[in-house]
Amino acid sequence: MPISFKVPIFDVKGLDFNVSGVSILSNISLEIFEGEYIAIIGPNGGGKTTLIRILLGLEKPSAGRLKIYGKKYENFKEWHKIGYVPQRASLVDENFPATVEDIVSMGRVAKRGLFGGMSKADKRAVEDAMKKMDVLTLKDKMVGTLSGGQRQRVMIARALASHPKILILDEPNTGVDIVSQQRFYALLSKLNQEEKITILFITHDIGVIVDDIQRVFTINQKATICNNPKEAMSCEEMSSLYGLDAHLLYNHKHEH
Amino acid sequence: MFEMFEYEFMQRAFIAGLFIATLASISGTFIVLKRYSLMSETLAHSALVGVAVGLVAGFNPLWIAVLVALVSAWLMEYLRSSFSLYSDAILSIILSGSLAIAVIIVSLGGSFNNSLFSYLFGSILSVSYEDVITILVFGTLSLGFLLLFAKELYFIAYDEEVAKTSGIKVWLLNFLLVSVVAVIIALSIRVVGSLLIGALMVIPTVAALQYRVGFKKTILIALFFALFSVSFGMSISFYFSLPSGATIVLCVIALFVLSLILNRR
């Protein structure tokens, strides 16, 4: 854990989440600070998405404490500081009447007032977000006609349009080809290093973690926090987390 | 062509009809995008209970229809959010339940079948001055809500969860949207009829979606289709003495088929 006197973005202590008496998350404690680049890994059904949903205020924890920017999550109002790209983001409804610009503009909706049209600042923020994600030339295209990789970048541009301090992505590479995935990880690193945006994302792409990530949270009902990502990549760790399949996956990565 | 406007009842019917076309097509866009299309049918049948009660009790059926449609909309939202029931099953139960109640009230009342017929299929003859005022007052409030919150409603229709995480009060806006739709449907049954209003809400948007354009253009195309269908349908209704709801709906279906053919992939 990095030594810091700053207020963490997320401060989680002893968090439990149960559904109908079944424990999904148990005694989770972690802190996330500004500027960090964190991956969450773990087996399917281990509670990764549930943890993210709790951080986003979409689920209420059964027990424990969650503070966002030092405030109890019930009292936190500045949700525009948190950008969210859900798992199915690139799997859009092809008939939905939305251009790329329509989608990215959604990122400004919560910032505009009741009577607010798009101000110059809103238009600039939308254009900047499209530029950063390299989708400005696609702005008049219908989002349903884009490739999986392009849609993925549009959804991140939407999240960036609200000028978030942290970007939370849930398995962002679902439905995206390998080339687009590599480009995507390069963009994430750039956002973290140049824009100083904190990145927290769920991934099964374990090979990527070794290269760029600062910390790894392994979630399988309980949390294990690895400050050195290479620790998380040991066969023992992976085997205990994923079982035999992970062992094979680890070897596969290093053979190529 | 324009001699029909020499009649006061046609002037009233056109004012009410064009306003309803505007309300139905704009609210219908959000309803279709949220996959709530069947909701308009259910609320229209619920409004029929209000009409039946109004006719039996001697109150203005339009006012009671607005009230009953609102209660049904809230019941739908409550059942959907509080119980693990399928949404379409809830709509189906309320739809048939409402129709059953309306039929029983009508049977007990007995003597106003002709009045009821005009509420089922719409009638340009039956739009009173009081109806026009009611439609303009409630319709303006509903239109104000839709225009003020269009950007939020569009975001919610696209991705409810992301809208929620960005700080938008999704539950409140969903509640207000179904309330506004309930009011619009109840107001529309004079001109279009309760059995056909669902079509005026849903079909212009589905036709506009065939053009695969952005949100604002889709709403404008749906609005144009609805205004054209109501104007043309009511004119046909006047000259051929046909129920206005049926002529309006056939007109909008023709536009849908044309859109489908023009935009065939």
Q: How does DSSP assign A100-119, residue by residue?
A: HHHHHHGGGGGGS-TT----
Q: Is A91 on the interface with B (CB under 8 A)?
A: no
| Burial (Cβ within 10 Å: 0-12, 13-18, ≥19) of residue B83 | exposed
Q: Are A98 and B131 in contact (CB under 8 A)?
A: no
Q: What is the pLDDT of residue B154?
A: 94
Contact B187, B23 (CB under 8 A): yes
Say what the pLDDT of residue B83 is: 76
Asked whether the beta carbons of A162 and A106 are under 8 A apart, the reply is no
A224 sits in which H/E element: strand A222-226
Q: How much of chain A exceeds pLDDT 70, in percent? A: 77
A84 contact residues in B (CB cutoff 8 A): 161-162, 165-166
Cβ of A97 within 8 Å of Cβ of B217? The answer is: yes
Residue A111 — left, alpha, or beta (φ > 0 → left; ψ -120 to 50 → alpha)? alpha
CATH of segment(s) B2-198: 1.10.3470.10
CB contact under 8 A, A109 and B163: yes
Q: Is A33 on the interface with B (CB under 8 A)?
A: no
CA-wise closest residue to A9 among A156, A162, A163, A168: A168
Phi, psi for A93 (deg, rounded to 5): -70, 115
Report residue B230 as tokens. Answer: 């109501």
Q: Do A79 and B165 touch (CB under 8 A)?
A: yes
3-state secondary structure A166-220: EEEEECCCCCCCHHHHHHHHHHHHHHHHHCCCEEEEECCCHHHHHHHCCEEEEEE
A-chain CB neighbours of B217 within 8 Å are: 97
Low-confidence ranges of chain A (pLDDT < 70): 1-5, 89-91, 113-116, 175-176, 206-211, 223-256
For residue range A189-226, what is the model confidence (pLDDT) as tens digits?
A: 889 988 899 999 898 776 666 567 888 888 887 766 66
CATH code for the part of the protein at A10-255: 3.40.50.300
Domain layout of chain A by residue ranges = 10-255
- Span A3-21, pLDDT tens digits: 555 789 999 999 999 988 8
Give residue B217's pLDDT. 95
Question: Which residue type, as a one-letter code, is found at position B93?
Answer: I
Supply the pLDDT for residue A2.
Answer: 52
| Contact flag B168-A109 (C-beta cutoff 8 Å) | yes
User: In this predicted complex, what is the ipTM?
Assistant: 0.83
Could you give the CA distance from residue B33 to residue B146 in angstroms, rounded to a whole number? 14
Low-confidence ranges of chain B (pLDDT < 50): none
Cα-trace Rg, chain B: 18
Q: Measured between alpha carbons, how far is A227 from A215 in angstroms, rounded to an integer?
A: 5
A-chain residue closest to B206, CA distance: A95
The CA radius of gyration of chain A, in Å to the nearest whole number, is: 19
Interface membership of B208 toward A (CB under 8 Å) = yes
Q: Which of B11, B34, B62 is nearest to B188 (CA)?
A: B62
Extract the runs of DSSP E, i.e. beta strands, from chain B.
none
Amino acid A231: pLDDT:
58
pTM over 0.90: no
Four-point Cα dihedral B234, B236, B237, B240, nearest 10 = 160
Locate the chain A residue with the closest alpha carbon to B145. A114
Pairing status of strand A71-72 against strand A63-68: antiparallel
Q: What is the pLDDT of residue B67?
A: 93
- Considering only alpha carbons, which residue of chain A is nearest residue B218? A97
Taking Cα atoms as reference points, which of B35, B71, B90 lies closest to residue B183? Answer: B71
Q: How many CB pairs under 8 A join A and B?
A: 72
- The candidate with the shortest Cα–Cα distance to A28, out of A42, A20, A37, A36, is A42
pLDDT at A254: 37
B163 to A102: CB separation less than 8 angstroms, yes or no: no
